[in-house]
């Protein structure tokens, strides 16, 4: 039997859900003393190569993260909640984070914010840092994470809420809505207006999995249309900006001569598409109907006003805070994964 197989055989077969992995667990699995693990974490070169190798394997197997909050300071860590969003430049998450902070601060909890720039490896690094300070809870955006992030969080014993998406198995708790259903709602709206040559304009969908799921739901609903309809999904590799919307609109007009209905992955792209339509003399909604996502502040006041889908970011924030507080106070059901569907609302305005 090789060393890795022997190590796997020593891993406890069952652990209580969300129970934090401790230094004692690492020591037991590596068959060394806790003081040796402590020394390894502080000075890896101070322990024997053989012991260091066993400790490193145990840490990786268990997903152990050292707790940097020592001794009497440990209680202070319960006052911190780590929130990780894809980008702090994205206005869509601002309302949710602000609501979470407001709800939690009333209970004496403070928020620490990190942004992953839509990178799963960067998200993992942020999770490692957050867990090293023993937070009261960790909040992630979406359900897509790499395997190491999942292992770290499952081993941490910390309440975890994944927000802005439901539809898969959460690590612990999830609050949000179905992105494929959002895409389907937008498609049904355009089809109900008699639009049959459709496009979904999105940006960074190779990384923004939620936007990609909205595009997928849009395409699937178009296929199910009672009358024949076509759709194309057009992606811009960069950030979802007004400029990207302009570029995407130009591509759509070139690729789809009879284009008469557009759904955009967010309101910024929709605004850029609207501006480009006006520059090119493409009448909205007479020739092309346009639907956004997000219901940002300008959506109701641009000309024409923008039909969009509201994801209720403030409600998501309140529900995230509620689940965190219930977990901290021991008021959530034991051994269950909690999922809260906050739904979405299509706001019909002049652009469609």
Encode pLDDT of 110-162 as tens digits: 999 999 999 999 999 999 999 988 899 999 999 999 999 999 999 888 999 99
Half-sphere exposure of 334 (CA within 13 A, CB side): 3
Confidence of residue 16 (pLDDT cuts 50, 70, 90): very low
Whether residue 332 is predicted with pLDDT greater than 70 in this model: the reply is yes
CATH number at residue 10: 1.10.260
Whether residue 70 is predicted with pLDDT greater than 80 in this model: the reply is no
Say what percent of the chain tops pLDDT 90: 71
- Asked if 215 and 284 sit in the same domain, the reply is yes
> How many folded domains does the chain comprise?
3
Encode pLDDT of 169-216 as tens digits: 999 999 999 999 999 999 999 999 999 999 999 999 999 999 999 999
* Mean pLDDT (the chain, rounded): 89
Nearest Cα neighbor of 160 from 146, 140, 180 is 140
Confidence of residue 91 (pLDDT cuts 50, 70, 90): confident
CATH number at residue 288: 3.40.50.2300
- For residue 67, is it within any domain? no
- For residue 204, is it within any domain? yes
Confidence (pLDDT) at 337: 64
- Asked if 204 and 302 sit in the same domain, the reply is yes
- Asked if 207 and 326 sit in the same domain, the reply is no
- Asked if 50 and 85 sit in the same domain, the reply is no
- Asked if 162 and 231 sit in the same domain, the reply is no
Whether residue 89 is predicted with pLDDT greater than 80 in this model: the reply is no
- For residue 53, is it within any domain? yes
CA distance 66 to 41: 8
- For residue 68, is it within any domain? no
Confidence of residue 60 (pLDDT cuts 50, 70, 90): confident
Confidence (pLDDT) at 77: 46
Q: Residue 267: left if φ>0, alpha if ψ -120 to 50, beta else—which one?
A: alpha
- Asked if 323 and 228 sit in the same domain, the reply is no
Confidence (pLDDT) at 248: 98
Confidence (pLDDT) at 193: 97
- For residue 351, is it within any domain? no
Confidence (pLDDT) at 254: 96
Whether residue 329 is predicted with pLDDT greater than 90 in this model: the reply is no
SS (H, E, C) the chain: CCHHHHHHHHCCCCCCCCCCCCHHHHHHHHCCCHHHHHHHHHCHHHCCHHHHHHHHHHHHHHCCCCCCCCHHHHHHHCCEEEEEECCCCCHHHHHHHHHHHHHHHCCCCEEEEEECCCCHHHHHHHHHHHHHCCCCEEEEECCCCCHHHHHHHHHHCCCEEEECCCCCCCCCEEEECCHHHHHHHHHHHHHHCCCCEEEEEEECCCCCHHHHHHHHHHHHHHHCCCCCCEEEEEEECCCCCHHHHHHHHHHHHHHCCCCCEEEECCHHHHHHHHHHHHHHCCCCCCCCEEECCCCCHHHHCCCCCCEEEECCHHHHHHHHHHHHHHHHCCCCCCCCCEEEECCCEEECCCCC
Confidence (pLDDT) at 15: 38
Average pLDDT over residues 9-23: 55
CA distance 286 to 283: 5
Q: Which has more confidence, 89 or 24?
A: 24
- For residue 321, is it within any domain? yes
- Asked if 187 and 296 sit in the same domain, the reply is yes
> Which residues make Cβ contacts (< 8 Å) with residue 78, sequence separation at least 6?
134, 136, 328
Confidence (pLDDT) at 231: 96
- For residue 69, is it within any domain? no
- Asked if 162 and 275 sit in the same domain, the reply is no
- Asked if 205 and 134 sit in the same domain, the reply is no
Q: At what angle do helices 3-10 and 23-30 cross, to 10 degrees?
A: 130
pTM for the predicted model, two decimal places: 0.80
Say if residue 304 is preceded by a cis peptide, omega within 30 of 0: yes
Least confidently predicted of 42-46, 97-101, 233-237:
42-46
- Asked if 46 and 83 sit in the same domain, the reply is no
- Asked if 153 and 183 sit in the same domain, the reply is no
Which domain covers residue 333, as residue numbers? 78-177+314-343
Whether residue 8 is predicted with pLDDT greater than 80 in this model: the reply is no
Confidence (pLDDT) at 71: 45
- For residue 223, is it within any domain? yes
Encode pLDDT of 261-309 as tens digits: 999 999 999 999 999 999 999 999 999 999 999 999 999 999 999 999 9
> Which residues make Cβ contacts (< 8 Å) with residue 29, sequence separation at least 6?
7, 10, 11, 58, 61, 62
Whether residue 9 is predicted with pLDDT greater than 60 in this model: the reply is no
Encode pLDDT of 19-55 as tens digits: 678 888 999 999 999 889 888 887 788 889 999 999 8
Average pLDDT over residues 55-71: 76
Residue with tokens 């934090």: 20
Confidence (pLDDT) at 137: 96
- Asked if 222 and 254 sit in the same domain, the reply is yes
């Amino acid at each position: 039997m090789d060393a890795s197989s022997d190590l796997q055989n020593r891993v406890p077969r069952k652990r209580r859900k969300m129970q934090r992995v401790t230094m004692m667990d690492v020591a037991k699995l590596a068959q060394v003393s806790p003081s040796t693990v402590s020394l390894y974490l502080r000075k890896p070169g101070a322990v024997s190569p053989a012991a260091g190798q066993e400790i490193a394997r145990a840490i990786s197997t268990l997903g152990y993260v050292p707790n940097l909050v020592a001794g009497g300071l440990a209680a202070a860590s319960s006052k911190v909640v780590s929130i990780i969003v894809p980008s702090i430049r994205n206005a869509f998450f601002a309302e949710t984070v602000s609501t979470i902070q407001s709800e939690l601060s009333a209970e004496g909890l403070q928020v620490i914010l990190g942004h992953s720039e839509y990178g799963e490896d960067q998200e993992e690094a942020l999770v490692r840092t957050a867990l090293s300070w023993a937070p009261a809870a960790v909040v992630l955006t979406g359900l897509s994470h790499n395997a190491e992030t999942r292992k770290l969080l499952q081993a941490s014993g910390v309440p975890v809420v994944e927000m802005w998406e439901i539809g898969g198995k959460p690590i612990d708790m999830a609050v949000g809505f179905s992105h494929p259903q959002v895409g389907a709602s937008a498609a049904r709206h355009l089809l109900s207006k008699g639009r049959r040559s459709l496009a979904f304009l999105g940006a960074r969908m190779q990384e923004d999995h939620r936007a990609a799921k909205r595009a997928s739901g849009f395409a699937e609903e178009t296929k199910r249309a009672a009358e024949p309809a076509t759709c194309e999904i057009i992606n811009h590799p960069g950030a979802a900006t007004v400029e990207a919307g302009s570029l995407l609109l130009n591509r759509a007009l070139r690729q789809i001569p009879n284009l008469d209905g557009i759904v955009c992955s967010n309101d910024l792209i929709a605004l850029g598409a609207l501006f480009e339509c006006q520059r090119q003399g493409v009448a909205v909604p007479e020739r092309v109907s346009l639907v956004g996502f997000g219901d940002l502040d300008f959506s109701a006041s641009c000309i024409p006003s923008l039909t969009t889908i509201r994801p209720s970011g403030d409600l998501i924030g309140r529900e995230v805070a509620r689940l965190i507080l219930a977990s901290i106070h021991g008021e959530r059901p034991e051994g269950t994964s909690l999922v809260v569907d906050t739904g979405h609302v299509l706001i019909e305005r002049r652009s469609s």
